[in-house]
Structure formats: structure tokens, C-alpha cells
Amino acid sequence: MNRSQLAVTLLCIGGMAQAYSAEARNPMIEKIVAALSEEHIAATMKRLEAFGSRHVLSPQDDPAKGIGAARRWIVDEFKSYSPRLEISLDTFPVKKTPRIVRDAELTNIVALLPGKRDKDRYVVISAHYDSLNLVRKPGKSADDMDSVDWVATAETPVAPGVVDDGSGTAAVMELARVLSRYEFDKSILFIAFSGEEMGLVGSRHYAKMAREKKLDIEAVLNNDIIGSDVSGNGHSANHVLHVFSPDPLDSTSRSLARYVKETGERYVPDMRVDLVLRQDRFARNGDQTGFHEEGFAGVRLTTPAEFFANQHSPKDTFAGASVPYTALAARVNAAALASLALAPRPPVVTRERTREGKTTVTANLARGKSGYDAVMKWTVTNREPDLAGFAVVVRSTVSPVWEREIYVGDVSEYTIPNLSIDNVVLGVKAIDKDGNASLVSAYVQGELK
């Protein structure tokens, strides 16, 4: 958000006028962000490396090595953080594929922190705990995946995967440790996915299950490769985090990306959060993809400084990772995750119309009686008792971020006079009495997922 263009207005709560500012910080979230420990993150990354390989076909029953040992250790760590965390294993069969060279069972690890009021609405933070050390066929080029010997890859005992994605797993676990000390309105799911390196198998399975069960997932923050801050060509980016989100420009995933940028930079001023307006890195994917495919909002958080020569190799070790960078990225996640879990539900800015047996969804946005105003309407579902009001946001059609914010109070309609709805993008968000803001619901042409 362009801070210089924010409008600061008065918010009346319980008859007492208080200053509401989009820049205000929630003291609880400040404590959460400050409590994240580099020491804990480093210890987790080292411990994950010590399992040798976390390939999905590595040993399941060895007490010290392989993905089975890693899974049991992660579960025990989750259990040690708080009795309020509910731990479950999402185990499912997979058939043999070119990458998974024999039938197997994969297991996602899920830690649920139940919400105190809106417990059936979820925000998710995720990473993948499996690792990969690609073994190439003799005499073959390393330019594409056709050169991989997948049998030898499954059998290699060394696939440390510290940056990819021990760093993301360490961040998810550290957030579970700290956030489980607090209560939130919504439920939080901390998930370590399996099978990302095999084609996003675990996350796609979970996202499909979530859609079938009609889970109300508001947001997915996926962390993959947040452990390096110097790339193979020497480029350093130790205070920049990339957030990828898919088109269209005002999809719910894009709204989530803007939210991560706004809250992350507010609570972690040492980190610049850059929006990358595509689903993922060029011709690549991550565990947020399956959630996009099932209609959920999801983003990928990742470093802009990948060290390609170390990825998927025995060189992806703790020695090549940056714990301070991972901790900064984790703090950005903490700010966004905690804010989302405390915030009201986003307003509904669309309406349905049925004609000749067909239902269309259109935006509650009009030009008003004059034909030259911006008239916005919205509704709320499951209104929270601490809902204070709403803020309207505005940006030009070519701006990636919201440029102006106007607090309008506890109303369901607002008009900006002499503003052409053709030339700007408008949105509205809900705000509670503590100043926690929901995701923005943008007025768009047609229904977006």
C-alpha cells in the first residue's frame, strides 16, 4: 500500500472516538512477531538435515534416518508446543508413477489450532518436508527432468533439503510453537506436506479433500525456499521476500498477496515484500497450486535469491542456508497469519441474479443517479460481535497495490462523488474494534475465484 496516500479517519467504538489508521499495529501481533526465535529455526533446519534423506521413498521405519523418522520427529515437536494443538496425519496411497517408482503411502502432517469463535473458518500456513537429490543418467544432459534416474534418486541416502524446503518447514513449526500460546477467532492449520518434489502430490490431495468436504479455507500461505539470501550468481537479497499470486488481477489470491505485503511490511520493516504477479516462478510450481485449482486463495512466499546449483543436490545443507533470512521471512508470515486469524470475514460485494434459468454474479457497484459517482454496496455473513465497520480502498487500474483508504463506518453502502468506476478499482474490507482488517473484497466484472 502507498502509505503517503492513506486517509486517517476517526473510528467511533462504544461511544468513544479513537484514531483508526491502517498503519496501526496490534500489540498482540507485535509480541508474536518478536517471539520468533532464530535459535529454534536453526535447530529445526539442522535436525531435518540429520535425517539424511526425506525422499518420499526413503526409509519409513528406521529410527534415525529417512522420511519416517523425520515425520515422527515433526509430530513430536508439534505435540510439545501446546496441548491446544490437535495433531493428525493425513495418510493416503499413491500409485507408481515415473517419479514415484513404486506404490507407496504418503503422509501430510497437520497441526490444528482451533479458533475460539469462527472455528470452522481456516487460515493455512504450509511447507513441504520431503526432500530430493536428483541422480542423473550417465551421459545425459541436466537441462530437463528426462535426464533423471528416478530409481537411483529414490535410493540415494543423502538428500539434505535444508533450503528446499527445510527452511519453510522450520518456519511453519516455529509459527506453530509461538502462535499456539495465543487464541484467535479463526482456526489455523499448520501443514507439512509430503510429495511436493514428486509433483505436488500431498498438497493436491489435501486441497481436493478440503474442497470435497467444503472446508471454509480463507487463505493459504505456502513457504517454499525461504532459506537462502545469496543466489548462484552472487546476487544478494537478504531483506526482500517475493510473494507469487495468480491472475486475474483481483483474484482472491491476489488480494491475499497484497495483504501479506501490507501486514508484513508494517510489522517487519526490515523486510521488503515484493509482489510477483504470476502464479509461481516461470515454468515452476509449489504447493499453493493445488489450492488454486480447487478455488482457494493461496500464495507462495519465496526468496528472490535461489542458489540453483545447490537445489535438489547433496549441497543443499545447513552451511548454505541463511537463518537470519529465514527468520525474517517467518516474521512476515507471522504478521499476516495472525492478522488474518484475528480479522473479520471479508464483506460480500457481489449479488446473484437469475434469469431464464441462468444465474449470473455481478458486482454491487453502480454510477448512481448522476451517472458520475461510484456507489458501492456490500453485505456481511456471520457478522462478528466485535465488527466496528468498513473501509473502502481505491487504486488505479494499473497499480498493483491499493493507493487510498477511507474508513466509512458501520454501513453497507458508500458513495464517492465524481469518481468514474471505469478508471479505478474499488474494494472494501471489514475492520474489528481492535483494528484488525479483513482481506479486501474487490469489485470486479464477473465472479473470480
The 10s digit of each residue's pLDDT in 157-167 is 999 999 999 99
- Please check whether residue 365 lies inside any domain of the structure: yes
Rounded Cα distance, 220 and 189, in Å: 9
- Three-state DSSP at 393 gives strand
Both 408 and 270 in one domain: the answer is: no
pLDDT, position 448: 44
- Please check whether residue 274 lies inside any domain of the structure: yes
Rounded Cα distance, 35 and 29, in Å: 10
CA distances from residue 269 to 331, 363, 405, 410 in whole angstroms, order as listed: 10, 35, 21, 31
Query: What does pTM read for this prediction?
Result: 0.93
- Please check whether residue 31 lies inside any domain of the structure: no
- Please check whether residue 113 lies inside any domain of the structure: yes
- Please check whether residue 143 lies inside any domain of the structure: yes
Q: Residue 15 pLDDT more than 90?
A: no
For range 287-293, the mean pLDDT: 96
Q: What is the pLDDT of residues 267-282, one digit of tens each?
A: 999 999 999 999 888 8
Both 403 and 309 in one domain: the answer is: no
pLDDT, position 143: 62
For range 140-151, the mean pLDDT: 79
Both 322 and 299 in one domain: the answer is: yes
Rounded Cα distance, 179 and 113, in Å: 9
> Which domain-ending residue is among 312, 342, 372?
342
- Please check whether residue 29 lies inside any domain of the structure: no
> What are 244's three cell numbers?
507469487
Residue carrying C-alpha cell 537479497:
237
Q: Residue 449 pLDDT more than 60?
A: no
pLDDT, position 141: 64
pLDDT band at 138 (very low <50, low <70, confident <90, very high): confident
Percent of the chain whose predicted confidence (pLDDT) is above 70: 91
> Which domain-ending residue is among 289, 311, 342?
342
For range 287-294, the mean pLDDT: 96
Both 19 and 94 in one domain: the answer is: no
Q: Residue 13 pLDDT more than 80?
A: no
pLDDT band at 1 (very low <50, low <70, confident <90, very high): very low
pLDDT, position 146: 80
- Please check whether residue 30 lies inside any domain of the structure: no
Both 349 and 322 in one domain: the answer is: no
> What are 341's three cell numbers?
486469524
**CATH number where 438 lies:** 2.60.40.10
For range 440-447, the mean pLDDT: 83
* Three-class SS of the chain: CCHHHECCEEEEECCEEEEECCCCCCHHHHHHHHHCCHHHHHHHHHHHHCCCECCCCCCCCCCCCCHHHHHHHHHHHHHHHCCCCEEEEEEEEECCCCCCCCCEEEEEEEEEECCCCEEEEEEEEEEECCCCCCCECCCCCCCCHHHECHHHHHHCCCECCHHHHHHHHHHHHHHHHHHCCCCCCEEEEEEEECCHHHCCHHHHHHHHHHHHCCCEEEEEEEECCCCCCECCCCCECCCEEEEECCCCCCCHHHHHHHHHHHHHHHHCCCCEEEEECCCCCCCCCCCHHHHHHCCCCEEEEECCCCCCCCCCCCCCCHHHCCHHHHHHHHHHHHHHHHHHHHCCCCCECEEEEEECCEEEEEECEECCCCCCCEEEECECCCCCCCEEEEEEEEEECCCCCCCEEEEEECCCEEEECCCCCCCEEEEEEEEECCCCECCCEECCCCCCC
pLDDT, position 142: 60
The total number of residues shown for the chain amounts to 449
Q: 2 or 293: whose pLDDT is higher?
A: 293
For range 113-136, the mean pLDDT: 97
Both 40 and 73 in one domain: the answer is: yes
Q: How many domains does the structure of the chain reveal? A: 2
As to burial, measured by CB atoms within 10 angstroms (0-12 exposed, 13-18 middle, 19+ buried), residue 381 is: exposed
Both 354 and 419 in one domain: the answer is: yes
Q: Report the relative pairing of strands 350-355 and 16-20 from DSSP bridges.
A: unpaired
Q: How does the average pLDDT of the chain come out, rounded?
A: 92
pLDDT band at 19 (very low <50, low <70, confident <90, very high): very low
Q: What is the pLDDT of residues 204-254, one digit of tens each?
A: 999 999 999 999 999 999 999 999 999 999 999 999 999 999 999 999 999
> What are 432's three cell numbers?
474489528
> What is the domain range of residue 93?
36-342
Both 336 and 406 in one domain: the answer is: no
- Answer whether 265's CB lies under 8 Å from 273's CB: yes
Both 259 and 330 in one domain: the answer is: yes
Phi, psi angle pair for 128, to nearest 5°: -115, 140
pLDDT, position 145: 73
- Answer whether 221's CB lies under 8 Å from 301's CB: yes
For range 22-49, the mean pLDDT: 96
> Which domain-ending residue is among 288, 310, 342?
342
**CATH number where 314 lies:** 3.40.630.10
- Please check whether residue 265 lies inside any domain of the structure: yes
pLDDT band at 446 (very low <50, low <70, confident <90, very high): low
Rounded Cα distance, 257 and 208, in Å: 22
Both 211 and 358 in one domain: the answer is: no
pLDDT band at 8 (very low <50, low <70, confident <90, very high): very low
Both 336 and 247 in one domain: the answer is: yes
Rounded Cα distance, 155 and 368, in Å: 67
pLDDT band at 140 (very low <50, low <70, confident <90, very high): low
Both 319 and 382 in one domain: the answer is: no
Cα end-to-end distance, the chain, whole Å: 22
pLDDT band at 356 (very low <50, low <70, confident <90, very high): low
Residue carrying C-alpha cell 465472479:
447
Phi, psi angle pair for 40, to nearest 5°: -65, -45
